[in-house]
Structure 1
Amino acid sequence: MSSLLDRPAPTAAAHLTLRRGAARVLIDNWTGTSTVPSRTLYPHQWSWDSAFIAIGLRHLSVRRAQQELESLLAGQWADGRIPHILFNPALPHDAYFPSPDFWRSSHAGRAAGAPSAPETSGIVQPPVHALAAWLVHRADTGESRRRGFLARVYPRLAAWHEYLLTRRDLGGGGLAAVVHPWEPGMDNSPCWDPPLQRVTPSPPDSFQRADLDHGHPADRPTDLDYGRYVRLATDYREAGYDDRAAPHGFAVEDPGFNALLIVSEWALAEMARDLGVTGEPHTSRAEALTRRLVDRLWDAEAGLFRVRDLGSDTLIDERSVSGLVPLVVPHLPPGVVAGLRETLGGPHFTAPATSLVPSYDLTGHAFARTRYWRGPAWFNTAWLIERGLRVHGHHADAERLRQGFLAEAGKSEFAEYVDPTTGAARGTRHFSWTAALTLDLLCADPEESTS
């Protein structure tokens, strides 16, 4: 691990200042029903953002954390999917692209069970929601039970997992597939480059990007990549968002996505037991998914998990932080845990200027220190890896990462991500999940991740 992780621990006063700053970000980004990731770049409600936000909000207001998750679940489709964006109807359509009139969820998604309102996107994001719901419940079990929180969200979250494990088992190997680069949450990772080469991009004059109004072009996906994203989303929409009928020009099994599904299956087992029913089906499913994850995606020689391209049925030869996120999965084989820990501390992911983990191999051919998910280090993946280190008993490593996370969150004004080579804050500032996960690392019981 880098010597940057060996800084002296901040004082109680510094932690209080950090807590107040993080709380202010979440208060400022609250809309009355949910929290936007950013008032400028991301002005609607995003799926996995809201899950991470709820994890932090539970330390400020358990009721608001519950509302964060339940407002997201209000956009769930009848087929079980939780869409990656719920659109705020009060905002103009050009506030974000792709906009509601691009996705046309209430019309194009009608057969798949899209709600008539709110308008949503048609794709999904990583299933961290059940873990978030369980942590929110545990923050105040009395309040949760009085309000019937678990009883309301458990069946919805179970349906969400069922969707992923049936309609999205596109490779036949028992793992969930993603059908758009935005679905794993790591939007333009170099891991997506090989399968994207098979996708014909939409013409540049057929869409108008809104992200460049608030983000520097050097930080954002290229126009060529965006054209491919638009093509994939258009084809999915024209197929009625039907996973069996859509052509799926892009389909991969992502290790981070499936790792979060496993962790959330363990959370569903805990929820079921709390509600007085057996959690065994979820426990069995989590164990089976763990075996499949290792069998299909683990690369022992590289010491991390790979993405499987279902178009060619091969592992993609790229090292991404997604391949380290499975450290959060309990009951991994000891050799896998040792390999992940060695890779985490090795040259591919030990950054010279941050204690966070780069999103892509520092020595990789496609490394770009400021471009979205092609190198920058993110706070949410660091939170997951910190939790994973604790799950497997590596508490000293976890504590060093935690201290580095907190220092950099405050220094960067709760930035979206940081440049791993200079430590400079990049992306938008006052980013909600950075603030929320800062609160969690300040306030949560360190033993919580192991119970």
Structure 2
Amino acid sequence: MDEAARAVLARNDRGGYTVPTDRLYPFQWNWDSAFVAMGFAIFDIDRAYRELERLVEGQWDDGMIPHIVFHAPSDTYFPGPEVWGTRHRIATSGITQPPVFGMALRHVHDAAVAAGRPDAADRTLALFQAALRSHRWWLSARDPHGLGLVSILHPWESGSDNSPAWDEALARVPPTTTTAIRRKDTGHVDPAMRPRDEDYQRFIHLVDVYRDCGWEPARQWAVAPFKIADVQMTGILARSTADLIYLAEALGLEGERAELASMHHALTTGLAGRWRPDLARFVSLDLVSGEDVGAPTQACFMPLVALHVDHTQLQAVEAEIKRWLEGMVVGLPSTAPYSQAFEPKRYWRGPVWAVVNWLLADGLRMNGALELARQIEQSTVSAIERSGFCEYFDPTTGEGLGGDAFSWTAAAYLVLSRRGHGPSAQATRP
């Protein structure tokens, strides 16, 4: 399996960057590549650095790292660069994705230092500066009012495209578009496993709106019909910020360390305020309606990667996660099985994702819930060993779903399968 996982990464390598899987996702995706870099770091540190270096080739001058970098043309994916209409020096999309980059950079740097790489500091420093510019963009463009919570303006930015968390907000978005929709995904994967056509119409309506703004952050913020202060995004950003603080200290960058510490304090304070004891989870905030996003999805537990919760909160979270795991062959489902919105085979409405489990297990470990973390890790590894390196898994059966030979699932296997061989620095650090 270890050799097979490496073979998946080799198969999807396009010359310094990795596609998630052939044809279905033929370009470089932001958070996919961050996870892939951590997988590469286990056996090829140079290639791990290169993955991140190729990703930041697409970074915009304002600091945003887009969710797709179109390094080479392909006609197997929609929407392509002609729909986005961005004006970056390399063709990219106009939105971003969860900022796992800082976490990945620390992981790769630590591996390079442990291996005695003489170029570790120099290569890390260049990527650190790109990461810092990205974090500055997040705070200025996506938290302009200083809530300590960063917002998504499109469901695709969350990484959890058709999650039930977005149902109410997305229903307010008109399904009309000025762009002809030519879906390619349902030609590669069973439509029952993908977002519905009506979801896509609203997704593309949002692209139209922001393209008409010239992709300028202030204009987008002002007109956005979809605006969610997302606890998953904020939790990942806060964790990546903590990892950048570690790197700033390692590189002797005191001014940057102080700036990042201020960011981290703001983000963790904002996150802590989103805890809802009656639900035993954290909730996002719909900035258009002013209402909490109460849908029970995996995002509700993602703040654990950044926060040290108190004993009462941890007990409540553990009990709630165990409730979600009851009767499941593999967990954690991306939507609570008791929810009316639960669909075990449809993308982010129920299936299990290996990289989500990786992050959640890290958060549980950081908070001392080691047994539950191990249960989730081992369940994930077993599902991959049974069904292969699939994009996601049916929690009720363990069946592999979506694309196959999937890069981030292979990377997750390489990391999680080693968790039983001693303590994991990735999981135990603050």
Alignment TM class, shorter chain as reference: over 0.9
Q: Distance in 1 between matches of 2:312 and 2:119?
A: 40
Letter in 2 for 1:391: M
1:172 to partner: Cα distance: 4.3
2:107 pairs, out of 118, 132, 135, with 135
* Shift in CA distance, 387/120, structure 1 to aligned 2, threshold 3 Å: same
Letter in 1 for 2:42: H
Q: How big is each residue's C-alpha offset from its partner over 1:380-424, in whole Å with a ceiling of 9 and x where there is no partner? A: 111111111211122222222222211111211111111112221
Q: Would you say 1:334 and 2:308 are equivalent positions?
A: no
1:147 to partner: Cα distance: 6.3
1:443 pairs, out of 414, 418, 422, with 418
* Shift in CA distance, 64/144, structure 1 to aligned 2, threshold 3 Å: farther
Q: Would you say 1:266 and 2:242 are equivalent positions?
A: yes
1:26 pairs, out of 4, 9, 20, with 9
* Native 8 Å contact 2:355 2:409 kept in 1: yes
* Shift in CA distance, 67/144, structure 1 to aligned 2, threshold 3 Å: farther
Letter in 2 for 1:277: L
1:430 to partner: Cα distance: 1.1
Q: Distance in 1 between matches of 2:412 and 2:344?
A: 23
Letter in 2 for 1:127: P
1:19 to partner: Cα distance: 0.9
Q: Distance in 1 between matches of 2:155 and 2:275?
A: 21
* Native 8 Å contact 1:204 1:223 kept in 2: no
Q: Would you say 1:323 and 2:300 are equivalent positions?
A: yes
Q: Would you say 1:229 and 2:203 are equivalent positions?
A: yes
Q: Which structure 2 segments of 5+ residues have no match? A: none
TM-score with structure 1 setting the length: 0.90
* Native 8 Å contact 2:148 2:269 kept in 1: no
1:395 pairs, out of 327, 345, 370, with 370
Identify the residue that residue 6 of structure 1 maps to in structure 2. none
Identify the residue that residue 288 of structure 2 maps to in structure 1. 311
Q: Distance in 2 between matches of 1:120 and 1:335?
A: 44
Identify the residue that residue 407 of structure 1 maps to in structure 2. 382
Q: Secondary structure at the match of 1:245?
A: helix
The root-mean-square deviation of aligned C-alpha atoms, in Å, is 1.6
Q: Would you say 1:55 and 2:31 are equivalent positions?
A: no
Q: Secondary structure at the match of 2:117?
A: helix
Q: How big is each residue's C-alpha offset from its partner over 1:246-297, in whole Å with a ceiling of 9 and x where there is no partner? A: 21110101111110001001011011111112223323322331111121x2
Q: Secondary structure at the match of 2:347?
A: coil
Identify the residue that residue 184 of structure 1 maps to in structure 2. 158
Q: How big is each residue's C-alpha offset from its partner over 1:204-251, in whole Å with a ceiling of 9 and x where there is no partner? A: 982111111111111111111100000001110110111211211101
Identify the residue that residue 110 of structure 1 maps to in structure 2. none
1:203 to partner: Cα distance: 4.8
* Shift in CA distance, 204/276, structure 1 to aligned 2, threshold 3 Å: closer
Q: How big is each residue's C-alpha offset from its partner over 1:142-182, in whole Å with a ceiling of 9 and x where there is no partner? A: 32645611210111101101111111115641211000000
Q: Would you say 1:125 and 2:97 are equivalent positions?
A: yes
Letter in 1 for 2:362: R
Letter in 1 for 2:333: P
Q: Distance in 2 between matches of 1:126 and 1:192?
A: 16
Q: Distance in 1 between matches of 2:325 and 2:316?
A: 15
* Native 8 Å contact 1:171 1:310 kept in 2: no
* Shift in CA distance, 403/204, structure 1 to aligned 2, threshold 3 Å: same
Q: Distance in 2 between matches of 1:170 and 1:307?
A: 17
Q: Which structure 1 segments of 5+ residues have no match? A: 1-17, 107-114
Letter in 1 for 2:391: E
Aligned residue pair count: 420
Q: Secondary structure at the match of 2:182?
A: coil
1:337 to partner: Cα distance: 2.6
1:158-197 to 2 correspondence within 5 Å? 158-170=132-144, 172-197=146-171
Identify the residue that residue 100 of structure 1 maps to in structure 2. 81
Letter in 1 for 2:224: H
2:180 pairs, out of 182, 191, 206, with 206
* Shift in CA distance, 146/323, structure 1 to aligned 2, threshold 3 Å: closer
1:191 to partner: Cα distance: 0.8
Q: How big is each residue's C-alpha offset from its partner over 1:107-150, in whole Å with a ceiling of 9 and x where there is no partner? A: xxxxxxxx32x200000000110010000000121326456112
Q: How big is each residue's C-alpha offset from its partner over 1:354-394, in whole Å with a ceiling of 9 and x where there is no partner? A: 23200011111211111110111111111111111211122
* Native 8 Å contact 1:126 1:260 kept in 2: yes
Q: Would you say 1:360 and 2:296 are equivalent positions?
A: no
Q: Would you say 1:289 and 2:274 are equivalent positions?
A: no
Identify the residue that residue 81 of structure 1 maps to in structure 2. 64
* Native 8 Å contact 1:352 1:422 kept in 2: no
> Which piece of structure 1 moves more, 326-335 or 57-66?
326-335
Q: Secondary structure at the match of 1:74?
A: helix
* Native 8 Å contact 1:35 1:68 kept in 2: yes
Q: Distance in 1 between matches of 2:154 and 2:111?
A: 34
* Shift in CA distance, 79/334, structure 1 to aligned 2, threshold 3 Å: farther
Q: Would you say 1:71 and 2:54 are equivalent positions?
A: yes
Letter in 2 for 1:450: T
* Native 8 Å contact 2:272 2:307 kept in 1: no
* Shift in CA distance, 365/439, structure 1 to aligned 2, threshold 3 Å: same
1:441 to partner: Cα distance: 1.6
Q: Distance in 1 between matches of 2:382 and 2:362?
A: 17
1:447 to partner: Cα distance: 3.6
* Native 8 Å contact 1:255 1:293 kept in 2: yes
* Native 8 Å contact 1:56 1:440 kept in 2: yes
Q: Would you say 1:420 and 2:390 are equivalent positions?
A: no
Identity %: 36
> Which piece of structure 1 moves more, 62-71 or 362-371?
362-371
* Shift in CA distance, 171/180, structure 1 to aligned 2, threshold 3 Å: farther
Q: Secondary structure at the match of 1:343?
A: helix
**Greater share of helix:** 2
Q: Would you say 1:37 and 2:11 are equivalent positions?
A: no
Letter in 1 for 2:97: Q
Q: Distance in 1 between matches of 2:45 and 2:267?
A: 31
1:311 to partner: Cα distance: 0.3
TM-score with structure 2 setting the length: 0.94
Q: Distance in 2 between matches of 1:390 and 1:65?
A: 25
* Shift in CA distance, 355/336, structure 1 to aligned 2, threshold 3 Å: same
